[in-house]
Amino acid sequence: MTQPVVPQPAAPAGKDNTTLFGVLGIVIGLICCGPIGLVFAILSHVQANKHGNKPTLAIIGYVCVALGIIWNIIYAVNR
């Protein structure tokens, strides 16, 4: 008789930083620096795609970055 085949456990997928990067993109994009917030939103989107999550926080981050940049332009013009 042959021995039954025991499946090997899957390798760990790595740390999922989707939420961390998404929240950082939203906060930094709205409050202080749009380009850095955009970087974090892109990182959140990449992490979401890598781990099979929905990129909701990344999309919200993109919108917040756009609103933050528009707000800063309006503020600079009316200053």
Give the tens place of pLDDT for each residue, 34-63. 889 999 999 999 999 998 889 999 999 999
What pLDDT is stored for residue 14 in this prediction? 73
Give the tens place of pLDDT for each residue, 4-42. 777 766 545 578 889 999 999 999 988 888 889 999 999
- Judge whether 39 and 74 are in contact, CB under 8 Å: no
Average the pLDDT over 57-75 and give the result: 93
The rounded distance, in Å, linking the Cα atoms of 38 and 17 is: 15
User: pTM surpassing 0.75?
Assistant: yes
More confident residue, 1 or 67: 67
